[in-house]
Chain A
């Protein structure tokens, strides 16, 4: 049943439960940590744990891209922002419970939606009793994803990238403003400067000693 052998299968299962526990613990840490910096670090930890779980099912492309994009770039910027904030925790907590009903109902709605989608599609054709079957040795997860991404899902993929570009342009347009009277360097002018513009060499004939 398991082509990789019984020992490896048991080991993979143990690793799955270890990383799944770490993932849930990290996710709980994100919402319970008092210090926002710790929250971000817990989120990083959760990303790494879920990347490890993806590695266990041989989805190495997804796992590494998750680490590369989220841990390596997005969360660094999150940390960057959170560390700069001077958050007064007590002030933040005031009226926190007023919105608890909103949080709970959102969470419940999300859980309901996910469950409905999964049951509505009959688990998406996944046979939960079959267990995990590993791919042949020459299987490349990257190639498999590339093949569906650029054929079957080409339009959604390109649309998503267009949405992201629009978001970037919008974000830059919102923050870009020119204040009058601010001294800035014009680099292209600096680079274009020639010696003749700045320096004048004057030949002066020597005077006679009086």
Chain B
């Protein structure tokens, strides 16, 4: 067997760790960016169908399905447009802000286990790392709003800052519940500890926390119905009203990369990541369908992404004070109560706490 592929694989094994890591980082970043491109198309198609329209159906690529070339057409249009910097803007921060928004969304993929063997970093404190990074994403938005020197942008940034701080807490508490049920902050172990079929996944015993996490995730990504930071009907386009061309595209990219990230995290924390839903059942549990693989994670991420789009097509935007009320007075108390319930469950050893690694 001396095919080029075996040669390549042998060469891959001899490369030093640092080069292999860099190559993995590149592969994953490019994959995320490509996913974002097709997610924008999928979003416009799905919302189009929900509103009895066709969605984009003109641009073809390689003679494939109509509309398939739309993301590339959009990207090239944005790349060739002029990036306008307002004369009274803070030039340095204005240019820095889009990068600050995008970097955390991509860096977070370092600790996400894509399949049982495939993860860039098996960091022990992976969950904390994710919380820390997702809390940094807000800087891009705040600085964009402030440096634009525009009222609408500033209002958007202020709204976004308050919203992020409020929902960060609910999200953190929901993850405390996951931490209690898994006994580990390593994402690979969190997935591994959910083994044993659909009802062994965390969503069953932590259902309120799952709901809180999903809602907080939608709010963190500034998606409808929590998109007051953009609020095109009130403050034009919010924090990115002054951005054009590729600088605007970076914010767009960050928002969609965050959506994919939140969907992947929901799958990992509450729906068993790469575990198969058919594992642990008679008959079907012994077939190939029960094998854990990247396919299952991808399917789960797709379902949650669809939820994001569905929400956008369904719900009207929240008012600012309603968002604050929901975050502080509903979601945070729910998480606190459920953490207490979890304490009781762990005392009487039911659910995840009946499993061997808690003894």
Chain B proximity mask over A52-92: 1 for CB below 8 Å, otherwise 0: 00000000110011011001110011011001100000000
A64 and B128: CB pair below 8 A? yes
Q: Which chain A positions have C-beta within 8 A of B311?
A: none
A83-B154 in contact given A64-B132, A141-B125 (Cβ < 8 Å): yes
12 inter-chain pairs at a CB distance below 8 angstroms, sorted by A residue, are A37-B146, A60-B123, A64-B129, A68-B131, A73-B168, A77-B161, A79-B161, A80-B161, A80-B162, A83-B142, A83-B157, A142-B185
**Shortest beta-carbon distance from B250 to chain A in Å:** 19
B135 and A68: CB pair below 8 A? yes
A102 to B107, CA, bound (A): 44
Question: Does B101 reach chain A (CB closer than 8 Å)?
Answer: no
B128 and A80: CB pair below 8 A? no
A207 to B158, CA, bound (A): 60
Question: Does B318 reach chain A (CB closer than 8 Å)?
Answer: no
Q: Which chain A positions have C-beta within 8 A of B325?
A: 187
**Count of chain A residues near B, Cβ 8 A:** 22
List 19 other contacts, CB 8 Å, given A68-B172, A84-B158, A140-B124. A60-B124, A60-B128, A71-B132, A71-B136, A72-B135, A72-B136, A72-B168, A73-B165, A76-B139, A77-B161, A77-B165, A80-B162, A83-B142, A83-B154, A83-B157, A83-B158, A141-B125, A142-B124, A187-B325
Question: Does B164 reach chain A (CB closer than 8 Å)?
Answer: yes
Question: Does B265 reach chain A (CB closer than 8 Å)?
Answer: no
Interface size class of B (residues with CB under 8 A): 20 to 34
Question: Does B138 reach chain A (CB closer than 8 Å)?
Answer: yes
Question: Does A44 reach chain B (CB closer than 8 Å)?
Answer: yes
**Shortest beta-carbon distance from A76 to chain B in Å:** 5
From A61, A64, A76, A187, B161 is in contact (CB under 8 Å) with: A76
Interface residues of A in 42-58 (CB under 8 A from B): 44
A46 to B184, CA, bound (A): 29
**Shortest beta-carbon distance from B80 to chain A in Å:** 32
Q: Which chain B positions have C-beta within 8 A of A37?
A: 146
Chain A proximity mask over B80-103: 1 for CB below 8 Å, otherwise 0: 000000000000010000000000
Interface residues of B in 102-134 (CB under 8 A from A): 123-125, 128-129, 131-132, 134
Q: Which chain B positions have C-beta within 8 A of A187?
A: 325
Q: Which chain B positions have C-beta within 8 A of A72?
A: 131-132, 134-136, 138, 168
Of B128, B146, B162, most A-chain CB atoms within 10 Å: B128
A65 to B138, CA, bound (A): 17
Interface residues of B in 142-159 (CB under 8 A from A): 142-143, 146, 154, 157-158
Q: Which chain B positions have C-beta within 8 A of A73?
A: 135, 165, 168
B128 and A44: CB pair below 8 A? no
A44 to B268, CA, bound (A): 30
B124 and A80: CB pair below 8 A? no
A70 to B123, CA, bound (A): 22
A60 to B158, CA, bound (A): 31
Q: Which chain A positions have C-beta within 8 A of B123?
A: 60
Q: Which chain A positions have C-beta within 8 A of B172?
A: 68
